[in-house]
Amino acid sequence: MHNFFRFLETIKYLRGIQIYFRLFYWLRRQFKNNFFQHNDYSKTSSLKSHPLILSSFPHNYHTYTPSQTFTFLNQRYKFSSKINWNYSNYGKLWTYNLNYFDYLHQENITKEEGLSLIYDFINQFHTLKDAIEPFPSSLRTVNWIKFISYYHIEDLKISLSLYQQYRILLNNLEYHLLGNHLLENAFSLLFGAYYFQDHSLYEKANKLLSEELKEQIMQDGGHFELSPMYHQLILFRVLEAINLIQHNHWQRDELLILLKNTATKMMAWLNQISYKDGSIPLLNDSANTIAPTTKQLNSYSSSLGITPLATIKLNESGYRKIRQNNYEMIIDIGSIEAHYIPGHTHSDIFNFELHINHTPFIVDTGTSTYENNTRRHIERSTYAHNTVVLESHNQSDVWSSFRVGSRASVQEIIETPHSIQAIHNGYQKHFNALHRRTFFFEKRTIKIIDEILSSKSYHAIARLHFHPEIKLQQTHHTILANGIQLNIKNDESVNFNIKEYNYASEFNKLITAKVIEIPFSKYLEVEILL
């Protein structure tokens, strides 16, 4: 019964179009063995392709080495004979990465190596499974077009395969998911439209991009799924689309205006939320070495003539950035914004990260996997963030790999030049309790006050996760962390514990670090002296 009500609580946030296409695609599968393929979408030799003109763009992380060796998500595999494009021993995300073909743009890959990989894929096309799903298809087709355009390759076999993949994609757009998935579909259709000068592809791409960019990019410039990593990825796609339209004069430039306006806002948001060292906070589903870096994106946007907005105030995205000479602090006081696609959301209201003297100090625990396993459940939980857990409950009901049932929301925000106070209702349903957190900021002092607003007393625990380089020393009511003093006052006679946790700055990469657990009932005060 619990699972039934959890399911209802989850699906009630879906949009009608998502429910319709989930049912439609499911029913279609019942009447066709495999609706992704194998209709003959190919044209004859009359199919015309138009290799594109593109300016330089950021190179990808090094993931392919000769002799059919691939490394994705810190997991390496060498195919001893032919490549198995369905290889799944490392999970679906690894299989997806294998089929994205991002590695075509590594600096050291040759034209011959790239063509060999493309031909091998085409020759095995009738055997493919995950590769033909819309998301990897969207990324792969763009990467192929960029590669063959760079080398001025006009190859009918590749063009026929691309055309077939685009017809399949067009019939399987991810309306059942929406969000960044549908945007990736749209960006790919735009590249296909220009490559084939296909008006039907262009009309669909133009419609989707015009609608979805307005829907998904918030007023302060943040992407509504609230992952800095996915923000970087979507911004990169926007810049690629600008690159495409600016250098290939096929359609009028109305879409270009929207893309440029979007890029200026997104770049400003990214610059605001990035640290001075260029790194991003690992909030929600974020990890390093996946997306182009903030520095790369600034350089790319500048090369395209995009100037970010000079100033932008973090607001609708729910994040706040506090800057002093000796520290930077990023705070999450936002609710779930992408309510119908919350899969990359964590249960982490009032979570924060703190850098002191350009060095990570208190950090988000990160994301190491998308697999539906214990590690994934921990990383999305309230327990894994720098906030308060009440009676071992999550603020929001994060479950499975990408599901969210009942969810917390922020009810009240009060901001002054030196403080931020907010209340969330994540514990109201089960305990009739609210959590209020107040941050106070001075040049040499940060104070965090937690209050459980309830007529009853409950067992609450605040957790502070430190970067692996931080060493902790404990006295009665004080912690020394690499010389930084933390004073703790609570209603539990200043009782706290130092434990270990696994820090995940990248996928499949866990490093042991220290976490402080501080129990309290109604009131807790943590003072950080810099």
Return the CATH number of 319-529, one of 3.30.70.1150, 3.30.70.890, 3.40.50.1000, 2.70.98.70. Answer: 2.70.98.70
User: What dihedral do alpha carbons 500, 399, 380, 19 form, nearest 10°?
Assistant: 170
Choose among 463, 400, 455, 462: nearest CA to 428. Answer: 455
Is residue 37's pLDDT more than 50? no
Question: What is the signed CA dihedral for 450, 274, 178, 202, rounded to 10 degrees?
Answer: 160
Question: What's the mean pLDDT in 235-242?
Answer: 98
Kindly report whether the global pTM for this prediction surpasses the value 0.85.
yes
304 neighbors 243 (Cβ within 8 angstroms): yes
Identical fold, 173-311 and 319-529: no
**Residue, of 454 and 48, whose pLDDT is higher:** 454
Residues 6 or more apart whose CB falls under 8 angstroms from that of 402 comprise 342, 343, 344, 370
Any residues with CB less than 8 A from the CB of 49 and at least 6 apart, and which?
Answer: 154, 159, 162, 195, 196
Find out whether 189 and 196 touch, Cβ atoms under 8 Å: no
CA angle 35, 39, 45 (to 5 degrees): 145
Average pLDDT taken over every residue of the chain: 94
Q: Provide CB contacts within 8 A for 221, sequence distance 6+.
A: 265, 266, 267, 268, 269, 270, 272, 309, 312, 317
- Residue 427 is predicted with a pLDDT of 98
Secondary structure of 437-462 as H, E, C letters: EEEEECCCEEEEEEEEECCCCCCEEE
Q: What is the pLDDT of residues 249-300, one digit of tens each?
A: 898 888 999 999 999 999 999 999 999 999 999 999 999 999 999 999 999 9
* Residue 491: pLDDT over 90: no
* Whole-angstrom distance, CA of residue 447 vs CA of residue 322: 13
Domain 173-311 grouped into CATH 1.50.10.100: yes
Q: Is the pLDDT of residue 78 over 90?
A: yes
Q: What's the Cα-to-Cα distance from 516 to each of 465, 478, 501, rounded to whole Å?
A: 7, 11, 10
Ordered by start, the domain boundaries in the chain are: 1-34, 173-311, 319-529
